[in-house]
Amino acid sequence: MSAHNVVRDFTRTDASILEGLATLGVSTVHEADQRRGALSPAIRPIQAGVRIAGSAVTVRCPAGDNLMIHAAVETCRPGDVLVVTTAAPSTHGMLGELLAVSLRARGVIGVVMDAGVRDVAELRAMGFPVWTRAVSPLGTTKANPGSVNVPVVCDGQDVAPGDAVVADDDGVVVVPRDRAAAVLEAGRARVSAEDAKRAQLATGELGVDMYDLRPLLADLGVAYLDGPSG
């Protein structure tokens, strides 16, 4: 195997599972996968109110060069999410409007960028969602090699091609493809439980009672004091 590869195809997460994960959202999916796979707060959405889930097409570029994003486009299919990493830290604008037009033409539903993007006004106008470390006009070269659809580390999390990528206003979470079905099931159970809890809490019932936390507080030695005006 060469040091630089474009893998043309790979197994994707089932569309029906992705649809379910998109409904759950990032924080619920993260909980349902035992609190794994969340990118850090440094990767932020450039828009508000969008929630997506798709299979990862992974790209590994040199810092400041987006040749491999161009190479990745033809491996994309409808419903995919492009995940771009760089070999060294960088805030270059690795992707702008033109690449977004090209990705959309292939059916890509969003981008997770561990570097920078530009043309954000145009991206927002297109309704093309992006989660990124930086917004920057700094241009890139198209001159240096990297890889497409190999396992990458994005903001400290492993992402393999075909893994489920869920993104919304809370950030981004990655679920390995072989856990996605179980995570969806666990997430749905969690949502059901939360619906009941939400209704209880909305009536003024206290979490310390609903979750039965008073014995724990007592065990931990937390004392209750009346206070100056009690």
Q: Identify residues 97-126 at the interface with a second copy (CB under 8 A).
A: 97-99, 101-102, 104-106, 116, 118-121, 124
Residue 49 backbone class (left: φ over 0; alpha: ψ -120 to 50; beta: rest): left
CA distance 197 to 187: 15
Report how far residue 117's alpha carbon sits from residue 102's, in angstroms, rounded to the nearest whole number. Answer: 15
Window of 15-23, 28-36, 180-188 that interacts with a second copy by CB under 8 A: 28-36
**Residue from the set 15, 16, 19, 70 that interacts with a second copy by CB under 8 A:** 70
Amino acid letter at 45?
P
E strand spans, 62-200: 80-86, 93-95, 110-117, 130-135, 147-148, 152-154, 157-159, 164-168, 171-175
Q: Does 212 bind a second copy (CB under 8 A)?
A: no
Shortest distance, CB of residue 164 to a second copy, whole angstroms?
A: 14
The distance of closest approach from Cβ of residue 103 to a second copy in the complex, given in angstroms and rounded to an integer, is 9
Of 13-21, 129-137, 181-189, the segment contacting a second copy by CB under 8 A is: 129-137
Q: Which residue lies nearer to a second copy by CB, 14 or 97?
A: 97
8 lies in the binding site for a second copy (CB under 8 A): yes
Subset of 141-170 contacting a second copy (CB under 8 A): 141-147, 149, 151, 153, 155-158, 161, 168-170
Map the footprint of a second copy across residues 184-203, applying CB under 8 A.
Answer: 194, 197-198, 201-203
Query: What residues does 153 pair with on adjacent strands?
Result: 158
Structure tokens that stand for 221 in this block = 């030695």
Interface residues for a second copy in 50-69 (CB under 8 A)?
A: 51, 62-64, 67-68
Instruction: Classify burial at 215, counting beta carbons within 10 Å of its beta carbon; exposed 0-12, middle 13-18, buried 19 or more.
Output: exposed
Best CA proximity match to 166, nearest among 55, 69, 77: 55
Contact 62, 144 (CB under 8 A): yes
CB of 140 to a second copy, least distance (A): 9
CB-wise, 82 or 99, nearer to a second copy? Answer: 99
User: In angstroms, how far is CA 139 from the centroid of its own chain?
Assistant: 25
Binding status of residue 204 toward a second copy by CB under 8 A: yes
User: Smallest distance, Å, CB 142 to a second copy?
Assistant: 7
